[in-house]
Amino acid sequence: MTVGIIGGRGTGKTVFVSLLATAAINYSVEVKEHFRYYTSPEFTTVIHDIVESLKLRRWPPATLKGSLTEYRFWFGYSKALSGLLTKFYNSLEVLSSLVKKLEIPRKELYNIIEFSIYDVAGEDVDVIFRAASLAKERGSSVLEMIPDNLRAVLDCDVLVFLIDSSKITVDNTDPKYKEMLDYDGLMASLISLVAMYRSSKYGVKPGKLYPVFVFTKFDTVDKKVLRAIGIPDNFDRWFAEKGKDRDEINSRLTKFMMRFYEHTLALVYGGTIMGVELERAQIFVSYLLTELNEDGISVPKVIKTPDGISYELAYSRSEYVRFIEYFGKIAGEIKRTHKEPGTPVTGLGR
């Protein structure tokens, strides 16, 4: 199973991936019978450095435009009864000996998803617009202009679209308003490209693509906007309490997209014309709460853990856990188990 992560300028992909890894680390320790997490040495170091920076209340450096670095990590979801088998495998010598005699490798108990994240500067996502313009000039198809790294993303089983919530404004006299409208155009173009590419390459194959939308920097959304779509001011508690009730969360966040990313949503619905059912997408939010430091600069917020002896980031942990669990559901539906780490997963944007 492969997963692609796509985002436009400023989506905070570096922070998103770091928080996903942080949640996966915590979740795997809590429920290790059902979920396992593993990283390549290079990615382990990168994640450590980024999370360390965030916990020290500093933002990690932005990816330089034009740079391209690949990082890998793996999620392992227990197969049917594997949670029970693993639990006994860990605790009972008799069953442990039996499993060893049967020569069942531990990794065979898990459906494994490999993520291969390509950390590309957000500005490079504008290649979509440039490709469309170039295709128009040459009288050719935009599909012919797509670079190889973007093709790798579009071929994935799951596509995660990161949408920047910080673009939102309700003041049409604010210069930021035009930026929000332009961003809607960029995301709509991206959705259009995805549907056209996959329809051209795969045709109508229901279930071939599993789309996921994530609103990043959700803590930046004006409280008046949240209230208008039925999300209370204490949104962090609301998302935690709603938990697995994705129907209600999807409904509220679809309303949010309808108000501010109408062109994008129209293309999401229109994808069905091309045989690509994007409206089946689950929607999640990502946020890292902030506070002002001594110099009045907004920095990541850290809080003490319930036991009061350590610190952790104040982020949308419950949403990341639901995100991880949803991937486990998808892995079961696809029913593709890699005996060895499998096809790379790609990501684009920042």
What's the pTM?
0.81
Domain layout of the chain by residue ranges:
3-348
**Residue 282, strand partner residues:** 212
Query: Mean pLDDT, to the nearest integer, of 249-255?
Result: 92
Residue 285 CA: distances (Å) to CA of 26, 318, 348: 19, 10, 18
Please answer whether residues 110 and 78 qualify as being in contact, where contact means their C-beta atoms are separated by less than 8 angstroms: yes
**Residue 35, strand partner residues:** 77
pLDDT tens string 82-132: 444 445 444 544 555 554 554 445 566 788 887 766 544 445 456 666 666
Query: Mean pLDDT, to the nearest integer, of 38-59?
Result: 87
pLDDT score at 195: 87
**Residue 299, strand partner residues:** 291
pLDDT tens string 327-340: 888 777 765 433 43
